[in-house]
Structure 1
Amino acid sequence: MDISVVLPEECLSKIISLTSPKDACRLSVVSPFFKCAADSDTVWESFLPSDYEGIISNSASSSLFSTCSSKKDLYFHFANKPIFINSANTIFALEKESGKVCCMVGAKAGISVTWGSKSYWTWPSLPESRFPEVAELKPVCWFEVTGKIETKLLSPETTYAAYLVFKFADSRNGFDTRPVELCFHVRGMEEEERSKVFLDAQAGAPNLSQDRGDGWREIEIGEFFKKHGENGGVVYSLFDFDGFSSKHGLIIEGIELRPKSV
């Protein structure tokens, strides 16, 4: 039996909208009828964040309203070509298969230098960075950076992980012989995650950071569960208070929040 005879396209679109972007793409190759239903704006608007129009309006990519001919085109633009929001301080993207929101806050907006003084950090521009400026540590004996990221943009009912995105300058010292301490806290919760890690594992120390394949490395700071209707924030810090060992050459691009892989 031809399913198009007993089930209107609008009804099939509604059913597909209750699945996932990955499922919609699979169903679009079943038949021409399924393709029309699976590619409809009804389906792909359901996969976009509810406030996607405001996100676009708050970006330098407002032309997306006219250049994307369908909601599916808009979805894959977010997935393949992340946009800058909040005065180019934040990168907004969608995870392609799930449609979950990912975001990254640049060092200039996402970290605050407390110990070590701002005079011990420079803010160079690097061609491999997505942000106009990054933070590079000059020679110091101790340092601390802290930051806070709001979570209202993130997808609800989702476990997220926070990652420090960093690299080292050609000239660096002190990070392969002594660990730094990472601290992670979700606002409104009492528990605080702390860990000591080697960022530069050159001397046989365990290397917990991962190569991102984009010229940067990342290390997980902590994870949290974003509940529906919950708009809090995550607070993190990175510090080393050893007053006898000089260190320099750490370059921080920013902090990234993305759905935790299971």
Structure 2
Amino acid sequence: MHPIKVDEIKSVKGIMENEIPQVEQTSSDETNSVKEMETEIQQVEENSEADSLEGKEITAKRGTKPPLNFLAILNDANISIQDFSPDELCNQLYKGVFIEPKKLMYYVDKELNKNCFIVFARKLHITWIGNSDYWNWTKEEDICDEYFEDIEVAVLLGVCWLEIKGEIRTIDLSPGTVYEVVFVVMMLNVDWCECNMWNYSVTLTLILPHSKKVTRHENLKQKPIGKWFEIQVGEFKMTPENVGEISFQLGEFSSDWKCGAVLKCAIIRPKNY
């Protein structure tokens, strides 16, 4: 993959005009939701004064088009698409684009054509991460070698208060779509700690705009050892009521010590029924 150059990008208005009429609508309620989401997305583009030739070219030449607001997302990250043909750009979006190097990746689900995000461990808020007696950082070789980034994962050495948090703004998600949030973790079989994480249940919390909270618990006893697996935090539908910022959390707060786990990332993606 060739790194994308940073430069000024042109307005998202052209692709908005071509894409929004093609959003699938199954009811009058969804029609209203899309119109309200359009209003929200237009607020993102108010500061852009350039023309929309790139968006028009992409929608004209590509049968499968990127989500309607992909240019706004790249614009906010100061990422240029000038060196990419429409096909190259779509393929790059399927692979993923780093919005923040080593921390935040944006990608498009190829099958569903929806916006998705990966929040890597370095961008998550981990309690006690600054204390090397409790947590350690190490590079995971097989995560993103093709992106020329040294992606790090967080290794839990031992804590009582286990707390991991993240957040993301929902204006960049695809309207009318049911999303899920998952943490990607690995359990370790280590001999230096008797209180391995598979002995515990963790509390997962999803906080939506307007402070609506969804909480669930998951037992780790049946999880595989030495392999990456996902823990679902919760799911939500991208409606106008959920425009804002969501936060997601994983925790275990007993007085017992916990150890022997590795945190890779959190993923915000469409729920695939």
- TM-score normalised per structure 2: 0.66
* Correspondences of 1:48-197 after superposition (within 5 Å): 48-56=66-74, 62=80, 64-66=81-83, 68-69=84-85, 71-79=86-94, 81-113=95-127, 116=128, 118-119=130-131, 120-130=134-144, 132-171=151-190, 173-190=195-212, 192-197=213-218
The code of the aligned residue for 2:220 comes to L
Instruction: Give unmatched runs, 5+ long, in structure 2.
Output: 1-17, 25-56, 145-149
> Given that residues 178 and 270 in structure 2 are in contact (C-alpha distance below 8 angstroms), is that contact kept between their aligned partners in structure 1?
yes
- Alpha-carbon distance in structure 1 between the residues aligned to 2:208 and 2:219: 23
> Given that residues 59 and 88 in structure 1 are in contact (C-alpha distance below 8 angstroms), is that contact kept between their aligned partners in structure 2?
no
> Of the two, which has the highest radius of gyration?
1
- State the partner residue of 1:221: 233
How many angstroms does 1:84 deviate by?
0.8
- State the partner residue of 2:51: none
- Alpha-carbon distance in structure 2 between the residues aligned to 1:194 and 1:248: 23
- State the partner residue of 2:272: 261
The code of the aligned residue for 2:252 comes to D
- Alpha-carbon distance in structure 2 between the residues aligned to 1:188 and 1:231: 10
Aligned residues: CA RMSD: 3.2
The code of the aligned residue for 1:18 comes to Q
- Alpha-carbon distance in structure 2 between the residues aligned to 1:78 and 1:84: 10
How many positions carry a matched residue from both structures?
212
- Alpha-carbon distance in structure 1 between the residues aligned to 2:122 and 2:170: 18
Bigger drift between 180-189 and 44-53 goes to: 44-53
- Alpha-carbon distance in structure 1 between the residues aligned to 2:219 and 2:78: 37
Q: Judging changes above 3 Å, is the alpha-carbon distance between structure 1 residues 222 and 112 closer, same or farther for their aligned structure 2 residues?
A: same
- Alpha-carbon distance in structure 2 between the residues aligned to 1:109 and 1:232: 19
How many angstroms does 1:158 deviate by?
0.8
Instruction: Give unmatched runs, 5+ long, in structure 1.
Output: 1-13, 21-38, 202-206
How many angstroms does 1:43 deviate by?
6.0
- State the partner residue of 1:24: none
CA-to-partner distance for each residue in 1:50-109, whole Å, 9 max, x for gaps?
A: 4433544566974x532x32x243223312x21111234211111112210111111111
Q: Judging changes above 3 Å, is the alpha-carbon distance between structure 1 residues 125 and 232 closer, same or farther for their aligned structure 2 residues?
A: same
CA-to-partner distance for each residue in 1:21-62, whole Å, 9 max, x for gaps?
A: xxxxxxxxxxxxxxxxxx984263883234433544566974
How many angstroms does 1:186 deviate by?
0.7
